[in-house]
Amino acid sequence: MSGKIITLTRHIIEEQRKYPTATGKFTDLMNDIAFASKLISYHVNKAGLMDILGETGSVNVQGEVVKKLDQFANETLIKALDHNGHTCVMASEESDDIIPIPDEYPLGKYVVVFDPLDGSSNIDANVSVGTIFSVYHRVTPEGRPGSVKDCLQQGLKQICAGYVIYGSSTMLVYTTGNGVYGFTLDPSYGEFVLSHPNIKTPKKGKIYSINESYFEFWDEPVKQYVRYIKQVDGDTNRPMNSRYIGSLVSDFHRNLLYGGIFLYPPSKKAPKGKLRLLYEANPLAFIVEQAGGRAIDGKQRILEVVPKELHQRTPLYIGSADDVALLEKFLSGEKKVD
């Protein structure tokens, strides 16, 4: 590797210097998240050699069977974030209610919500999985324990969002509203190193990602859109290529880099959508917008949705700006398949 090596910590500190009033607490918080991610990465990579694959036998708040690695990732993030005085409350996709900070630890000004291990249904098949996280400033008075009100903030209020993908390499991607940056974990010395500076997603992509087995359960405008992008038309560069892993972080990461659109529409089986607003849609929407893309729920910008509950579900259409704009024309009825 030539040139200077920029680690995640160095990058955050250099960004922090742009703000004279910064205290360094956010840098510490990000280091805690990075540390937890390294532990999770180690166990994901060793999963085939350890008694950590498979199911625990319990069911989470979503009604899904909890995988052992899910449980480990959730506990690792909580333990990494609850004692250093940076957080006032947390929320996790794996926990029914908010996660308070234990009484013996100091309280901070940050709120962290996370999906500890997205795509965990694919763990036993050795498919890439990931961690998704969001950071907010608390809205309740400082010095007191945080509440559910701190967690139920619009995505517009995020001060940081990111994800970690555990694949052929482990990569942490994050934004604080000043561009999107990707860091790859170098296992030789255990540091996240800047590998993807200022990520920009293509304005128009070639990939669409959707679980087409639910085709007959979708509303007609979504069916129309999918039919359209599968038609052969050289003038509009169709058909688009179908790529669907079934692990949101993996599908999103690929489309972010290569361009395209990910769709999880409402259906007769899930009329409110299936993905979680707080833990999945909001953080990825913040990231994609910072990279030049868009994210909507079919009616409005994802980041403008006001959350009503911790485990609120939402439809999600996210990706390259032109692809999302075309989809909107079908959803509004402006465009139909000829």
- Across 178-202, b (16+ Cβ under 10 Å) vs e yields eebbbbbbbeeeebbbbbeeebebb
Strand order of the sheet with strand 294-296?
Answer: 241-242, 207-209, 260-264, 316-319, 294-296
pLDDT at 67 exceeding the cut of 90: no
CB 299 within 8 A of CB 50: no
pLDDT at residue number 89 = 98
Report field, pTM of the whole predicted structure over 0.75? yes
Q: How far apart are CA 83 and CA 88, in angstroms?
A: 10
pLDDT at 5 exceeding the cut of 50: yes
Residue with tokens 């308070």, as numbered in its chain: 100
Backbone phi, psi, residue 169, to 5°: -140, 165
- Give the highest mean pLDDT range of 66-80, 97-111, 117-131: 97-111
Six-digit token string for 233: 């038309």
pLDDT at residue number 59 = 65
